[in-house]
Amino acid sequence: MGLADLHTHTVFSYDGTASVPAVLERASQVGLDIIAITDHDVIRGALLAEQLAPKYNIQVLPGIEITTAEGDLLGLGIRKIVPAGLPLIETIHRVGDLGGFCVAPHPGATGMSMKSLGAYSIFKALRDEQASRILIGIETYNATTIDRNGNFTARIWAEHLGIAQTGSSDAHILGAIGLGATIFPGSQIEDLLAALRAGSTLVHVGPQWSALRVLGGWVASYLMSAPAHLSMIRA
């Protein structure tokens, strides 16, 4: 069985704290077969990770956590920017036009300035014939969300809709990578995609961190990563 973390961030995200090489090394160390780099509304980190992946014996699924008008959306398997701020269905269509697919991250979760999709937006998208072929998963376990009830709600929605469930870390610091992951038959990206389309993925729940550890770890890591953020702003 393969293991994929489909929602992670690097220093290319405004709130990420780890370099791309460090993320890839950590992903390999914790036994992931696939890692998706999904920085906020930028693709540079994902493309760099894809180039460096062979060195770390890990497969990279490039993507973006796209800020739609209705909440965040993971666009996966894409190598070009999808503009932020568009309606959800239009965003999904654009991801599909780029040959990618979508997963709804932390749906229904609140707090910490999270921009989560609501039930109505997801249900409406899945009633759109084209969008329903592209939006093929719901993140039902987000390892670092502060709103734990959001995971429970997402699982209910996914079961009701009969859509694939994914687990992810939503890691913004190195130590969180792999705390949540998606289990699938096989080990390759094409195997993962087939499992998502078939709705046969399972959710891996790793060690669970307290809210204090999640927040405290991020603050400490963010302060240490400040020079990297400043250098990127100046670039």
Q: How far apart are CA 11 and CA 42, in angstroms?
A: 11
The residue among 151, 156, 131, 149 whose CA lies nearest residue 141 is: 151
pLDDT surpasses 90 at 58 = yes
User: Does 200 score more than 90 pLDDT?
Assistant: yes
**Distance between CA atoms of 89 and 157, rounded to whole angstroms?**
18
pLDDT tier, 143 (very low <50, low <70, confident <90, very high otherwise): very high
Residue 16: what pLDDT?
Answer: 82
Res 26: pLDDT:
97
Average the pLDDT over 221-225 and give the result.
70
How far, in Å, are 40, 122, 193 from residue 160 at the CA level? 29, 12, 21
Domain regions of the chain by residue span? 2-234
CA 209 to chain CA centroid, nearest Å: 18
Which pLDDT score is estimated for 232?
A: 63
Helix axes 119-126, 88-97, angle to 10 degrees: 50
Give Cβ neighbours of residue 225 (< 8 Å, ≥ 6 apart).
11, 16, 17, 18
User: CA of 90: how far to CAs of 42, 123, 158, 220, 233, in Å?
Assistant: 18, 15, 22, 38, 30
In angstroms, the CA 42 to CA 28 distance is: 23
Q: Residue 208 has what DSSP assignment?
A: P
Query: For residue 63, is pLDDT > 60?
Result: yes
Q: What is the distance between the alpha carbons of residues 214 and 154, in angstroms, rounded to a whole number?
A: 20
Fold of 2-234: TIM Barrel (3.20.20)
Pairing of strands 135-142, 34-37: unpaired
Residue 234 scores a pLDDT above 50: no
Query: What span, in angstroms and rounded, lies between the C-alpha atoms of 176 and 13?
Result: 16
Mean pLDDT, the chain, whole residue set:
92
The per-residue pLDDT for range 152-175, each reduced to its tens digit, is: 999 999 999 999 999 999 999 999
Per-residue burial over 30-63, b if 16 or more Cβ lie within 10 Å, else e, is bebbbbbbbbbbbbebbbbbbebbeebebbbbbb
Kind of pairing, strands 59-68 and 71-76? antiparallel
Output the pLDDT for position 216. Answer: 80
Q: What is the tens place of the pLDDT at every residue in 87-135?
A: 999 999 999 999 999 999 999 877 666 789 999 999 999 999 999 999 9
Residue whose tokens read 């759109």: 128
Output the pLDDT for position 221: 72
